[in-house]
Amino acid sequence: MENKTHPLKPHLYHSGVPDIDFQLLAEQGRKNILLDVDNTIALVGSNIIEPEILEHLKKNMGRGFIEKICLVSNTMVGKKRCNRVRKMAETLGSDYVCAGLFCPKPISKPFKSAMKKIDAQPSSCVMIGDQIFTDIFGAKRLGIFTILVKPLGSDSLASNIFPRRGLEKYLLKIFGLREN
């Protein structure tokens, strides 16, 4: 199951969090979820987790397919941005890590902090996120199973400086990945 291919290639690609089969992941021993925030569970600038996503996560937590969740967000600067993540974590009953300006994803530190917070090893974790160059690349390097989802909406201005969305599209094409 473990994919030893290209470091930028996600193990799975889904159209969104509600399409993820957490029962299957649990059967594979992956019950600990590291979860990106912006454009994965919430729209950029929104203070709430998208209802359909929240419902799917809660349902799978209730059934025991998800043991623990830790939100891992590149909040960069500003307490306000981190408070927003903390509130979403409270809604979920999860932990959270706000990665700062000097150690954002894909640097290993936020992933390692997240695993420490939920007391989990890489082999029991799944990283879910909408960005190949941060979420997927950073987690996969640590041996974490990775799931790429389509972004919920448009990116923040700051993350548009690097033209990664075009590169991501190109990579998905050469990897032959279609969401499932």
- Enumerate binding residues for Mg ion (CB under 5 A): 36, 38-40, 130
Closest contact distance (angstroms) between CB of 29 and Mg ion is 26
C-beta of 159: minimal distance to Mg ion in Å?
8
Q: Which is nearer to Mg ion, 40 or 124 (CB)?
A: 40
Residue whose CB is less far from Mg ion, 11 or 105: 105
DSSP 8-class letter at 156: P
Residue (of 129, 114, 121, 132) closest to 174 by Cα position: 132
Q: How far is the CB of 76 from Mg ion (least distance, A)?
A: 12
DSSP state of 173: H
Contact 56, 33 (CB under 8 A): no
Strand partners, 86: none
CB-nearer residue toward Mg ion: 28 or 91: 91
Least CB distance to Mg ion at residue 83 (A): 18
Q: Where are the alpha helices (DSSP H) in the chain?
A: 22-27, 51-62, 79-92, 108-117, 137-141, 164-175
Nearer to Mg ion, 24 or 167 (CB): 167
b (16+ CB within 10 A) / e for 38-75:
bbbbbebeeeebbeebbebbeebbeeebbebbbbbbbb
Token pair of 38 as six digits:
């912006």
Report, in Å, the least distance between residue 44 CB and Mg ion. 8
Kindly tell me which of 28 and 109 has the beta carbon lying closer to Mg ion: 109
